[in-house]
């Protein structure tokens, strides 16, 4: 079928991509297995073109780094201008005004009315690591509570807070001590077996029980939580959930570290997902779409907490790089000028409408869920048993890429189709991508019915 935006000139992968992927297998560490079997030549907005001339609709968005899209002109121009001025000094050696400007803007837009401060790092994992260090220093306590299905990164403390053993933790222990894990508000697989809202969000009360049975609040520095779980399967909890957790934590004298690495900068239809619940994080790690793909992250939080560490106890050589800072300033301009927060809600409604229509047509879809443009379908072999359809999900991925759409997987069982589509995607591009995705769902649904 002819497509308006997808343009496939070769089979996937094309000959040039295949040649480079063979070189990759020879020279690049085996752990870096690629998701899409193509080598990119260039990207613009929500489209990428590989070195064989094939153009795809990109629903990966650099795993959430490209809310403003590939190579946004205003961001590229800002980066070019900065590159000609300076690439690096280390802010603590020779400071620069772009970092100070960015700190001010992040503090002004962060949720809540408390006076804020910010500190910068390179990656989401580093931001989480340092939020933990700050919390320890401020509270004098050592323990942390994390959640089933959580993903916070691959460095030592971030990996310890992360839930999923494979591929992130197996073989890499021992992990950091004093981390206690409780269930998340995964309504589709609720252990309480009561339907929301009749459940009263009892899953949040598990935190109260954990303070009695697992980790005393006088030992717990912080609860570390994603406002929408990313790698765990794009699990958007009831809006009351985070508010209830925050209230329980505050009553116990425990901080709330809200990991907005993937949810931030408009993805969920609010600038930060915490805003949906009306909470003010004590500390908020941010990264990914902060700088349109330039490595940069930050921890934004209440000033008295962020200021707890002494001079030179947190930092790093490259943190808050000036190129990343000017890119981030321009990203914030673009988000505001192009109304991308509002656009995430509009596009998210479009996606969810299509997902619900697919749910009605295809029994292999067990659940559809999401918040703004952070939405997903969970595939199951049987809707009654909810047995995960992991192989079928992998099949959908492969079929979609063969047809010119690049989606992502997620979930504890690898049975969730997720999309981190750039928020600048046009409705035409989005609809075409969803049409291809539905074609692939229809194929695997038919195969699943033949088996069962």
**How far is it, in rounded angstroms, from Cα 176 to Cα 211?**
19
Q: What's the pLDDT band for 200 if we cut at 50, 70, 90? A: confident
CA 188 – CA 180 distance, rounded (Å): 23
Give me the mean pLDDT over the 188-195 stretch: 81
Residue 434: CB atoms within 10 Å: 22
100's CB contacts (< 8 A; 6+ apart) are none
> Is the four-CA dihedral 229, 230, 231, 233 of positive or negative sign?
positive
How confident is the model over 287-312, as pLDDT tens digits? 999 999 999 999 999 999 999 999 99
Report percent pLDDT > 90 for the chain: 94
Q: Report whether pLDDT(1) > 70.
A: no
What's the rounded Cα separation, in Å, for the pair 309 and 124? 19
SS (H, E, C) the chain: CCCCCCECCCCCCCHHHHHHHHHHHHHCCCCCCCCCCCCEEEEEECEEEECCCCEEEECCHHHHCCCCCECCHHHHHHHHHHHHHCCCCCCCCCCCHHHHHHHHHHHHHCCCCCCEEEEEECCHHHHHHHHHHHHHHHHCCCEEEEECCCCCCCCHHHHHHCCCCCCCCCCCCCCCCCEEEECCCCHHHCCCCCCCCCCCCHHHHHHHHHHHHCCCCCCEEEEEECCCECCCCCECCCHHHHHHHHHHHHHCCCEEEECCCCCCCCCCCCCCHHHHHCCCCCEEEECHHHCCCCCCEEEEEEHHHHCCCCCCCCCCCCCCCHHHHHHHHHHHHHHHHCCHHHHHHHHHHHHHHHHHHHHHHCCCEEEEEEECCEEEEEEEEECCCCEECHHHHHHHHHHHHHCCEECEEECCCCCEEEECCCCCCCHHHHHHHHHHHHHHHHHHHHHHHHHC
* pLDDT at residue 198 in the model: 78
Domains contained in the chain, CATH given: 15-41+50-70+339-451 (3.90.1150.10), 74-337 (3.40.640.10)
* Tens digit of each residue's pLDDT (9 = 90 or more) over 243-274: 999 999 999 999 999 999 999 999 999 999 99
The reported pTM is 0.96
Q: In the predicted model, is pLDDT for residue 79 greater than 80?
A: yes
C-alpha 385/C-alpha 379 separation (Å) is 12
Average pLDDT for the chain? 96
C-beta neighbour count of 219 within 10 angstroms? 15
Q: Of 51-60, 94-103, 122-131, 182-191, which range is least confident?
A: 182-191
The pLDDT assigned to 199 comes to 86
- Please return the burial class of 195, using the count of CB atoms within 10 Å of its CB with bins 0-12, 13-18 and 19+: exposed
Q: Tens of pLDDT along 5-41? A: 999 999 999 999 999 999 999 999 999 999 999 999 9
Beta-carbon count within 10 A of 423 CB? 30
- 119-128: average pLDDT: 98
**Nearest to residue 86, comparing CAs of 299, 292, 326?**
326
Q: Is the pLDDT of residue 165 over 90?
A: no
φ, ψ of residue 121 in degrees (nearest 5):
-145, -165
Predicted confidence (pLDDT) at residue 154 exceeds the cutoff of 70? yes
Q: CB neighbours of 83 closer than 8 A, spacing ≥ 6?
A: 323
């Amino acid at each position: 079928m002819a497509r308006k935006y997808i343009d496939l000139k070769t089979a996937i992968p094309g000959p040039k991509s295949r040649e480079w992927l063979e070189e990759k297998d020879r020279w690049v560490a085996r752990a870096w297995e690629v998701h899409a079997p193509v080598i990119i030549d260039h990207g613009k907005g929500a489209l990428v073109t590989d070195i064989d001339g094939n153009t795809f609709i990109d629903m990966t968005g650099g795993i959430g780094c490209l809310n403003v899209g590939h190579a946004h002109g205003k961001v590229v121009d800002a980066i070019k201008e900065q590159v000609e001025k300076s690439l690096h000094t280390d802010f603590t050696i020779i400071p620069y005004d772009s970092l100070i400007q960015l700190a001010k803007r992040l503090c002004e837009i962060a949720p809540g009315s408390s006076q804020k401060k910010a500190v910068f790092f390179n990656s989401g994992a580093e931001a989480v690591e340092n939020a933990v260090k700050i919390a320890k220093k401020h509270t004098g306590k050592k323990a942390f509570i994390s959640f089933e299905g959580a993903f916070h990164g691959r460095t030592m403390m971030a990996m310890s807070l992360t839930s999923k053993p494979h591929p992130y933790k197996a073989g890499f222990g021992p992990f950091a001590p004093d981390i206690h894990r409780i269930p998340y508000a995964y309504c589709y697989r609720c252990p309480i077996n009561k339907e929301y809202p009749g459940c009263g969000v009892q899953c949040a009360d598990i935190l109260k029980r954990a303070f009695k049975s697992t980790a005393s609040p006088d030992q717990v520095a912080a609860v570390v939580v994603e406002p929408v779980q990313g790698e765990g399967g794009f699990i958007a909890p009831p809006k009351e959930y985070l508010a209830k957790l925050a209230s329980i934590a505050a009553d116990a004298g425990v901080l709330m570290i809200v990991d907005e690495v993937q949810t931030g900068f408009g993805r969920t239809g609010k600038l930060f997902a915490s805003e949906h619940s009306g909470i003010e994080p004590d500390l908020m790690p941010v990264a990914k779409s902060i700088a349109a793909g330039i490595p940069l992250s930050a921890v934004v939080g209440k000033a008295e907490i962020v200021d707890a560490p002494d001079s030179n106890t947190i930092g790093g050589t490259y943190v808050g790089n000036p190129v990343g800072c000017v890119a981030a300033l321009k990203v914030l301009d673009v988000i505001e000028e192009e109304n991308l927060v509002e656009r995430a809600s509009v596009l998210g409604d479009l996606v969810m409408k299509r997902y619900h229509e697919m749910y009605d047509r295809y029994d292999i879809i067990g659940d559809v869920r999401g918040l703004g443009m952070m939405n997903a379908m969970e595939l199951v072999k049987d809707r009654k048993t909810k047995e995960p359809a992991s192989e079928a999900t992998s099949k959908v991925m492969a079929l979609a890429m063969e047809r010119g759409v690049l989606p992502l997987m997620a979930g504890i069982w690898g049975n969730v189709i997720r999309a981190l589509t750039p928020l600048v995607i046009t409705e035409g591009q989005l609809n075409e991508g969803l049409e291809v995705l539905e074609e692939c769902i229809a194929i695997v649904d038919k195969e699943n019915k033949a088996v069962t």
